[in-house]
Amino acid sequence: MPATAHDSTLPPLSTSLARVCPRCRSAAPEGASWDARCDEHGLVFVEARALVDGSQDPLLGTTLAGRFTLLSRIGSGSMGSVYRARQAPMGRDVALKIVRRDRAYDAETKVRFEREARAVSLLKSPHTVTAFDFGEAEDGSWFLALEMLEGETLGERLRREKRLHWVEALRLSSEALHSLAEAHAQGIIHRDLKPDNLFLARVHDPSGDREVCKILDFGIAKWVRDEEAPVDQLETLAGTVFGTPRYMSPEQAQGAPLDARSDLYSLGVLLFQMLTGRAPFVDDDAVVVMAKHIKEPPPELDEAAPGVDIPLPVEAAVRRALEKLPEKRPASAEQMLSELSQALAASRAVESGVRPHFAAGEDLPKSLRLAERRMWLLGGLLGASLVVVLALGLLVWRRSHSAAPTPVPAAMSGGILENSASNALSAQEAPLPQSAASEAALPLASKIEPPLPAESAEAALRPGPSSLPLAPRKTPPKGKPPAPLERRGNERYGRFE
C-alpha cells in the first residue's frame, strides 16, 4: 500500500522541506537534482509541503508540453487550476494556468482562454503580468505560462488592513492606469477589475526591493481561488455574468456596449474602497448592487469613512471617475492618470502651503477646479469672519477708551493745537528715567494745562480754526511737582485713536 500524508514513517508534511514522490510519497535521494524522478512512478519529486492537504492531484510531478514540470498547485477555479511549474529550457519558475480537461472542449471556455492569451501577449507594461508561453498540451488541455509573482493581491491587503493611506491608494491606482493605458491602446478592455485582480508584487532590484502593482486576468475570471473557499455571488460567475457586480460600471450592469471608460469606473470603485475600506455600493444581492451602480449616486467619502482625512482634490478625482455617464468621466487612462497626479500635487500643496505648478498650457481638470473653488470659498469665508471679529474687537476697544480723558496740551492757542498734540504724543514715546522725569516736569508745570474733557479734545483736534474757549489755568501747589506722565501698556508703539 502506498504511503499517505498521515503515514507515521514520513516527516510532518506541514513543516518538512524534503521532496517526495507525489504518488507514493517516497523520499528523494539526498543531493538529488530538482528534476530527479521516482523510479516506480516516473514523477518528479516535489516538496512535501505541496502535499500538506493530502490531495492526489494527478498532474503534480508531471511534465506538460515537454517543458513545464508541475511542482505545486497554487489555486483552482471552475475552469481549471494554476500551478507553480519549472520551465526546463529557461530554468525559471512560472505560474501555469491549465484548463480542466472537461472544459477544454467547451467553445466558450476556449474563446475566453484564447482571449486572455492574446491580450497578455500584446502587453509589455511592467504593471501587467507577463505572458511567456501559450498552447495546447498532449492531452488536449490548454495552458498559459505567466511570470511567477511574489507578494499578495490588493484584496488580501484590504482584508488585512481594511483601507490604505490616500498617497498609497493614488500610487497603486496610477500604476494600474499605466497598464490600462497600454491595454486600451491595443483595443483591450479588462472588464473585470477587482481587488483580487490587482497584484502587489515584490520586485528585487540591485537598488533594493520595491513593490509594483500589476493587473492580472485579462479576459479570464476565477483562476486563483481555492475550491474549498465559499462562493460569493458577487464574484465572477463563469459563463453567466462576465465581470464582478460590485465593481461593474453602470453601462456594464445594463449590458450596454463598453469602451475604455468602463474600466476607469471600475478603477474608481477600487480607489473608493482603498480610501474608505468599503465599496461604494454593498449588498448581498448582486442584482441590487448592479441597480445601485445604475441609479444611485455614490456616498460621500467622509460618510463612508467618518473621521478619515481625505483631501478634497482626491475626493473630486474619485467622484469624477464614478460618474454615471461615460462622457463625464476622464476620456482615457492617460487623462485619469494626469488628474490623479495633479490631485496628489494639489493635496500635498495644501499640506505644505505651496501652490502646485502645472506645465505651461496644461489645464487644471474640472474636478480639481471645483475642489480649488471650494477651498477658495472656504478660505474667503474664514477671512471674512476674521475681519468681522477684528472690527468688533476694535469697536469695543475704542468704546472702552473713549470714556477716559485724552491728554491734550492746551498751552498753545488757536491754529497750532494739532502740532502741539502731535509733539506731546511723540514726547511720550521716549520715557525718561524716574529722576529725570521729575526734574523735567518742574519747568513744564507752568505751561501744561489740565486735560480737556473728551468732547472738547475731539473738537480741538479737528482741522481748521477752533473757537472753543480754553479751560482756566490751574497752578500746582508750591513745592509739590506734578506726577510723571503715566504710560499705558498698549501704547508701546503709539496710540491709534
**Dihedral pair phi/psi, residue 153, rounded to 5°:** -80, 160
**Integer Cα distance of 100 and 83 in angstroms:** 12
Q: Hey, what CATH topology would domain 57-148 get?
A: Phosphorylase Kinase; domain 1 (3.30.200)
The amino acid occupying position 167 is V
**Integer Cα distance of 25 and 20 in angstroms:** 5
For the chain, give every domain's residue range: 1-56, 57-148, 149-224+240-400
Q: Kindly report the CATH number that applies to the domain delimited by 149-224+240-400.
A: 1.10.510.10
The residues carrying an active-site annotation are 192
Average pLDDT over residues 156-180: 97
**Which residues contact residue 429 at a Cβ distance below 8 angstroms, ignoring those fewer than 6 apart?**
494
More confident: 402 or 36: 36
**Integer Cα distance of 308 and 310 in angstroms:** 6
pLDDT at 18 over 80: yes
pTM of the model: 0.64
Q: What is the pLDDT of residues 443-475, one digit of tens each?
A: 444 444 455 454 444 444 455 444 445 445 555
- Among 312-316, 394-398, 469-473, the minimum mean pLDDT is found in 469-473
Average pLDDT over residues 154-161: 96
pLDDT at 195 over 50: yes
pLDDT band at residue 326 under the 50/70/90 scheme: very high
**Dihedral pair phi/psi, residue 446, rounded to 5°:** -80, -10
Q: How far, in Å, are 19, 220, 409, 455, 457 from residue 398 at the CA level?
A: 92, 77, 21, 14, 15
Q: What is the DSSP string of 464-494?
A: S---PPPPPP-PPPTT-PPPPPPPPGGGTT-
- Among 134-138, 246-250, 280-284, 468-472, the minimum mean pLDDT is found in 468-472
Model pLDDT, residue 160: 96
Model pLDDT, residue 77: 75
pLDDT at 303 over 80: yes
Compute the C-alpha angle 472/475/476, nearest 5°: 135
Torsion of CA 224, 228, 229, 230, to 10 degrees: 130
**Dihedral pair phi/psi, residue 282, rounded to 5°:** -130, 130
Sheet of 151-153, strands arranged across:
151-153, 198-205, 208-215
Nine-digit cell at 108?
466558450
Which of the 8 DSSP states describes residue 223?
Answer: -
Burial class (CB in 10 A: 0-12, 13-18, 19+), 106: middle
Nine-digit cell at 236?
465572477
More confident: 37 or 213: 213
Model pLDDT, residue 483: 53
More confident: 463 or 150: 150
Matching CATH topology for 57-148 and 149-224+240-400?
no
**Integer Cα distance of 220 and 103 in angstroms:** 14
> Which of 183, 100, 86 has the alpha carbon at shortest distance from 133?
86
Model pLDDT, residue 26: 85
> Which of 84, 74, 71 has the alpha carbon at shortest distance from 34?
71
Secondary element (H or E) of residue 72: strand 68-76
Model pLDDT, residue 400: 72
Provide the mean pLDDT of the chain.
Answer: 75
Q: What is the pLDDT of residues 407-438, one digit of tens each?
A: 544 444 444 434 444 444 344 444 444 444 44
